[in-house]
Amino acid sequence: MSLKSLFKKIFFGGELIEEIESSINGKIQIFEQFSGKKFVRVGGITQSGGIVEKIWEKALINLHCSLFNIHNSLILGLGCGTVAELLVKKWPKIKITGIEIDPKMIEVGKKYFNLGKISNLKILVKDAIKTINIQQFDFILVDLYCGQKFPKEAEDERFLKNLKRFLEKDGLIVFNRLNFGEYKKNNAVFLEKLKCQFQKVKIIKVGFNLFFVCQLA
């Protein structure tokens, strides 16, 4: 390791080791930390690995204590597979369907992360917002960011109603949302939309993220 590389990993949190151009996400940047772990940044924000892993880990710990033993999970916005890997660690027998619109993210996940080695993971490269005719799940995670932007279509009443059809009666849907600046105002509006669709809505706050945990009854 060169002195320059060491300096970047220690003082800047990571060294840029590859940059990929995507027609969907724009620049996908892969960084390596001093520990050797990798993280992916898109639109100036980390989307897989690094702080994302820590945030989801804390959120799942909060959920894990009260959750039943989940069997089938759907992840909308699979990214490089950080959340899928965490789910398998907590529920080893879980079956996961991960939907990701950007094939470049899947390539990065397989090259730098363990995406191709996660047991019981089925990967679908398609638009999660337009997904129809899919089986039911007891645990659905919605993490549909493109950089710092949450698609407006994923906040529509039509999308939320359609998503409910994928959820088993006693299941949970978890929405991950950024929660700073203008996002706070948007989250307040989104919360009211969720309350119109779900009987129970719980909020978990982890750092600058909010997790809306929704139940049908």
- Same domain? 97 vs 201: yes
pLDDT at position 149, please? Answer: 81
Say if CB 83 and CB 58 are below 8 A apart: no
What pLDDT score does 133 carry? 67
The residue ranking higher by pLDDT, 60 or 191, is: 191
Number of compact structural domains in the chain: 2
CATH code of the domain covering residue 206: 3.40.50.150
Q: Are residues 188 and 101 in the same domain?
A: yes
Q: What is the mean pLDDT of residues 52-70?
A: 80
- pLDDT bin (cut points 50, 70, 90) of residue 70 is confident
Taking only the tens place, the pLDDT of each residue in 154-201 is 999 999 999 999 999 889 999 999 999 888 999 999 999 999 999 999
C-alpha 128/C-alpha 131 separation (Å) is: 5
Domain range spanning residue 39? 3-44
Q: How many CB atoms lie within 10 A of CB 176?
A: 23
The pLDDT value given to residue 130: 86
184 and 101 belong to one structural domain: yes
pLDDT at 32 exceeding the cut of 90: yes
- Co-location of 198 and 143 in the same domain: yes
Specify whether 86 is located in the same domain as 13: no
27 and 131 belong to one structural domain: no
Q: How many residues does the chain have?
A: 217
CA–CA distance, 106 with 174 (Å, rounded to integer):
22
> What is the average per-residue pLDDT within 89-99?
93
The answer on pLDDT for 44 being more than 90 is: no
